[in-house]
Amino acid sequence: MKKVMVFTVVVSMLFLGVPAPTDAGVLAGVATEWTQILNHVQLIMGYIRQGLQLENELRQYAEQLKQGRVLPQQLFGPIQQDLSQLSQVVQGGQALAYSMGNLDAQFRNTFPGYSFRSQGYFNDYKKWSQTSLDTTMNSLRAAGLQGQQLNNAQAVLAQLRTMSTGAGGQMQAVEVGNQIAEQQVEQLMSLRQLMLTDLQSKQAYQAEQIQKEQADNAALEHLFGTQPLVTDQKKY
């Protein structure tokens, strides 16, 4: 700072043509001119400091604006549409699906439990087998649909990866992180639905096996419990 002031004074003397001091009056005048020059220099330096301070504040303000800038668009996966398609795929034919509104009533109507009907016995067997087959087939269809939906999920993740590498500020980075977290929740929901689909197929098959066993036992009980077996003039 002192060097700048001295340099400014010397340059000012050269351009202003300040005379060399020869007597006391001239020295006093020169001293007064130097004082004025130094005052001007200090004033200029003050303006320079203010300008630098203003530049620094503007730079900080620009950085704050950059950090607070939001993404022009948010990217979320079509989870509601995907789940809706999956819940519809698992319903078809005589299948028992977790998404059915009357699942309890439909299950009891298809698998009544320990019972016997003298008529329509083989039709009941056919219905139980068809229900198990339709449920298994629809479960496989749901798995295939989820395989197709993986392509959409990969496309969304690719866009999020690009957005994360090009985030221009803290707010944009936070928003990208929120969208990635939302994608994780969507994938967990899809996995949960796939587990439900697998569970419904297994339970339908298990119900078919149990129902057939109970129907056979009920038929045997009906046969031996209501009509005694007669042989060699003896009843059993």
Nearest to 142 by CA among 79, 187, 92: 92
If one counts every other C-beta atom within 10 angstroms of the C-beta of residue 106, the result is 16
Distance of alpha carbon 64 from alpha carbon 22, whole angstroms: 60
> Given 3-state DSSP classes, what are the helix, strand and coil percentages for the chain, each rounded to the nearest 5?
75, 0, 20
**Whether residue 104 has pLDDT greater than 50:** yes
Residue 107: φ, ψ to 5°: -65, -45
pTM of the model: 0.58
Residue 227: φ, ψ to 5°: -125, 105
Average pLDDT over residues 49-77: 69
Say which residue, 23 or 177, is predicted with more confidence: 177
Give residue for tokens 């220099």: 41
H or E segment to which residue 13 belongs: helix 2-16
Dihedral sign from CA coordinates of 42, 44, 48, 51: positive
Distance of alpha carbon 133 from alpha carbon 208, whole angstroms: 10
Residue 110: φ, ψ to 5°: -80, -40
Give the up-direction half-sphere exposure of residue 136: CA atoms within 13 A in the CB hemisphere. Answer: 12
Q: Is the distance from CB of 176 to CB of 71 less than 8 angstroms?
A: yes
- Please state, rounded to an integer, the average pLDDT across all residues of the chain: 75
Distance of alpha carbon 139 from alpha carbon 198, whole angstroms: 6
**Whether residue 235 has pLDDT greater than 60:** no
Distance of alpha carbon 8 from alpha carbon 2, whole angstroms: 10
Can you give the pLDDT at residue 10?
47
231 three-class SS? strand
Say which residue, 58 or 198, is predicted with more confidence: 198
Nearest to 18 by CA among 32, 3, 39: 32
**Whether residue 150 has pLDDT greater than 50:** yes
Can you give the pLDDT at residue 232?
60
* Residue 22 DSSP code: -
Q: Which of 92-101, 165-174, 206-215, 223-232 has the lowest mean pLDDT?
A: 223-232
Model pLDDT for residues 78-99, shown as the tens digit of each residue: 777 877 888 888 887 788 888 8
